[in-house]
Chain A
Amino acid sequence: QVQLVESGGGLVQPGGSLRLSCAASGFTFTDYYMSWVRQAPGKGLEWVSYISSSGRTSYADSVMGRFTISRDNDKNSLSLQMNTLRDEDTAVYYCARTSRLRALFDWWGQGTLVTVSS
């Protein structure tokens, strides 16, 4: 069955960096776009970024220029490099299998918590 397992979250100071990873299994990784979606404490869902199987990327305005999404199709893995972190980046970050056409996130990981605080 489809499994997405995130890692790499933690506590980081404002202005710092963090790299999230997502290990995918149970499906043909190269058939799908992949996304990061985040949820601030007590708040709703916010799409962060997606990447196509060939490496085409897109970002939300709120993270453009600070975050970089990447994937390794040989290792079935997805990453999110987060730089210049701000307090408002504090959230649970989910890795999600994505249908770009449908704007649909059909499988989600369990999430990893990123806390930006001094």
Chain B
Amino acid sequence: QSALTQPASVSGSPGQSITISCTGTSSDIGGHDYVSWYQQHPGKAPKRMVYDVIKRPAGVSNRFSGSKSGNTASLTISGLQAEDEADYYCSSYTSSSTFVVFGGGTKLTVL
């Protein structure tokens, strides 16, 4: 069982927006502004999409945006495209000994 809770799957049609939630505790998401989101296509390595809750690395589309409220972080993808179909993982710094915790991953299907 993962430390952070994500929905197993979400889906949306091209052009629509979807939001993936990631729920933790006050020891991780709620206590620190170091939440990251990773995109992983089948057979490929994860790719950083959002970090520090809301920041986007150079080269990542502005259709991807992050937010946080209390112990829950969210990734919103607007203007869904077929290429967005992938698994998405959240992670957070944690004040426990492990230093980082991951969510179990969410499979995004573009209908």
Contact = CB atoms under 8 A, between A and B. Distances in A.
Interface of A: 44-47, 50, 58, 60-61, 94, 100-111
Interface stretch (B13-21, B63-71, B73-81, B94-102): B94-102
Interface of B: 2, 34, 36, 38, 44-48, 51-52, 57, 89, 91-94, 97-100, 102-105
Given A108-B46, A110-B45, A45 B89 contact: yes
Contacts of B99: 47, 50, 58, 100, 103
Given A44-B89, A60-B98, 12 more contacts: A44-B2, A44-B102, A44-B104, A45-B102, A47-B102, A100-B99, A101-B34, A102-B93, A103-B94, A104-B91, A105-B36, A105-B46
A43 B83 CA distance: 22
Given A94-B46, A109-B45, A103 B91 contact: yes
A104 B36 CA distance: 7
Nearest to A62: B98
Contacts of A94: 45-46
Contacts of B34: 101-104
B45 A108 contact: yes
B46 A45 contact: yes
B48 A106 contact: yes
A44 B91 contact: no
A40 B63 CA distance: 30
Contacts of A46: 102
Given A45-B46, A111-B45, A103 B100 contact: yes
Contacts of A110: 44-45
A103 B92 contact: yes
B110 to A, nearest CB: 21
Contacts of B105: 44-45
